[in-house]
Amino acid sequence: MSQDDHSRDSAGLTYVYPVVSRRAGGVSIGINLNPNNACNWRCIYCQVPDLKRGTAPVIDLVRLEQELRDFLHELVYGNFMQEKVPPETRVIKDIALSGNGEPTSAREFEQIIEIIGRVKADFPLPEELKLVLITNGSLINRMYVQKGLHLMAGLNGEVWFKLDSVTQTGRLRINNTRASLQRMRDNLQTAASLCPTWLQTCVFKLKGVHPDTHETDAYIGFIRTLLQEGTQIRGVLLYTLARPALQPEAPDLSKADPDWIKTFADKIRALGIPVRTAF
């Protein structure tokens, strides 16, 4: 495995897959709740093949639990790490609810968190092991999601809440969503009140051009307002493209320059919050 291999099929399972994660800094145990490649957004940098609009299918909870148990057993007691993971990343960093769509669209979300907690307790895993939810945040207002986030908080959980743009034009262009900024703010505040929450922002060049000052100033202003309102975000995960997109806009996308990312990160840090970057 390498940092470029994020295939959801790499373990031959329905729900569970391994990733060598740049942002996590080791092996992330991915849980894909959208094997039907369906999402309620369509981000132009998405690497999911045959992406379609929709929600997660009914989750086979028995199968998910068995796959997670079997895979953890192989990681902890088997030869997976030695045979398939580079030496410098042979550490289990997190269990991540991500995959080929929006994971919180799975109606069984609360039950899935309960399963993860139960399985996790049966293995000698590092105390600092994270349970990460990678989400666009659009469904945080649903009660079953909030109950799941409450459970996550007791399992060393973190929410990585997507925030690629705070302008209506930017969200429509990048994420293909008409969700209002007010709804995004409300959902973010709810998430942060239930479970430690980071903002996750993808920056890139569109047709060779970085986000303009209108976009970046609006972003900085939004975070400043959040902090003034007392929203307890842990920080910002700022990253750029790692692999080719599989959406129609792919030819127009390219990585943000490292110097541009560093400059933007410094502006965010000036607000008094941590920023982690991945190039």
Residue 63 falls within a domain, yes or no?
Answer: yes
Task: Work out how many domains the chain is built from and give that number.
Answer: 1
Confidence of residue 83 (pLDDT cuts 50, 70, 90): confident
Domain that holds residue 125: 16-277
pLDDT in tens, 221-265: 999 999 999 999 999 999 999 889 999 999 999 999 999 999 999
Residue 85 falls within a domain, yes or no?
Answer: yes
Which CATH number fits the domain that encloses residue 38? 3.20.20.70
d(CA 250, CA 271): 33
User: If you average pLDDT over residues 71-80, what whole number do you get?
Assistant: 89
What pLDDT shows up at residue 59? 97
What pLDDT shows up at residue 118? 97
d(CA 246, CA 251): 10
Residue 81 falls within a domain, yes or no?
Answer: yes
pLDDT in tens, 120-172: 999 999 888 999 999 999 999 999 999 999 999 999 999 999 999 999 999 99
Residue 3 falls within a domain, yes or no?
Answer: no
Residue 141 falls within a domain, yes or no?
Answer: yes
Please give the C-alpha separations between residue 28 and each of 6, 42, 71, 160, 267, in angstroms, as whole numbers: 10, 24, 12, 14, 29
pLDDT in tens, 37-73: 999 999 999 999 999 999 999 999 999 999 999 999 9
pLDDT in tens, 87-97: 777 888 899 99
Q: For helices 143-153 and 181-194, what crossing angle results, to 10°?
A: 40
Number of helices and strands (H, E) in the chain? 8, 12
Q: Would the pLDDT of 269 be above 90?
A: yes
Residue 178 falls within a domain, yes or no?
Answer: yes
pTM value?
A: 0.92
Spatial CA neighbour of 112 closest among 161, 166, 155: 155
71 in Cβ contact with 92 (< 8 Å): no
Residue 186 falls within a domain, yes or no?
Answer: yes
In terms of Cβ atoms closer than 10 Å to its own Cβ (0-12, 13-18, 19+), residue 37 is middle
Residue 248 falls within a domain, yes or no?
Answer: yes
116 in Cβ contact with 155 (< 8 Å): yes
Residues above pLDDT 90, as percent of the chain: 81
